[in-house]
Structure 1
Amino acid sequence: MPNPLRNAETDPGRDSHPLSPESVAPHDGAEKELIARCLDGNLETFDRLMEMHETQIYNLAYRMIGNREDAADLTQDAFIRAFHALPRFRGGSAFSTWLYRIATNVCLDHIKKYRRQKSKMTPSQIRTADQEELDLLDELGDSSLDPQEVLDRREQQKAVQSVISTLPEHQRAVLVLYDIQGESYEEVAQILDISIGTVKSRLNRARLALKSRLETLREQL
Structure 2
Amino acid sequence: MPYSEEFGDFYYSRADGRAECRHVFLAANGLPDRFAVRPNFVIAELGFGTGLNFIETWSAWETTAPKGARLDFHSFELRLLSRENIERALSAWPDLASKARELTSRWPDKPAGDVKIDFAGQDKSIRLHVHSGLALARLNAAAFAADAWFLDGFSPARNPGMWSAELMRAVADHTVDGGTFATYSAAGWVRRNLQAAGFRVEKRPGHSGKRDMSAGVLVNALQMPETLG
Return the TM-score normalized by structure 2. Answer: 0.26
Higher normalized strand content (fraction of residues)? 2
Higher normalized helix content (fraction of residues)? 1
